[in-house]
Amino acid sequence: MGDFKTGTEQLATAADQMVDTNELLQDNGRKLAQGVDSVQGAWSGAAATAFTNLMTQYQADFKTLNDSLFQIAEQVTGSSRDYAQQEETAASDVSAIMATLEDG
């Protein structure tokens, strides 16, 4: 298994990219819904019903995807903050140890 390395900056960048992607997906989803709505009024019959059912399922799945992406972005943002705090604590601890060794 390969080495995996990350840092606060990489985690924050990844979270920002996820939020940007989520916003882009939501914009495209709205555009699709507007396009579908504009033609749906003039369409009737079994095919229209089947398509409406398909779009209803698509919208539910689309919402689930976007909600999940947003939750992942929030978790990565939290991980970035935790990682930064742990780095600060470790640096402080090392400084304290070094100061003790120098004084002793």
Query: Where residue 85 sits, what CATH number does that domain have?
Result: 1.10.287.1060
Query: Taking phi first (over 0 means left), then psi (-120 to 50 degrees means alpha), and beta for anything else, what does residue 2 get?
Result: beta
Q: What is the pLDDT of residues 4-25, one digit of tens each?
A: 777 888 888 999 999 999 999 9
Q: What is the pLDDT of residues 51-95, one digit of tens each?
A: 999 999 999 999 999 999 999 999 999 988 888 898 889 989 899
Q: Which residue has the tokens 């990219």?
A: 17
Q: For residue 104, is pLDDT > 70?
A: no
Q: What is the pLDDT of residues 20-55, one digit of tens each?
A: 999 999 999 999 999 988 888 888 899 999 999 999
How many domains is the chain partitioned into structurally? 1
Range of the domain at 26: 1-103
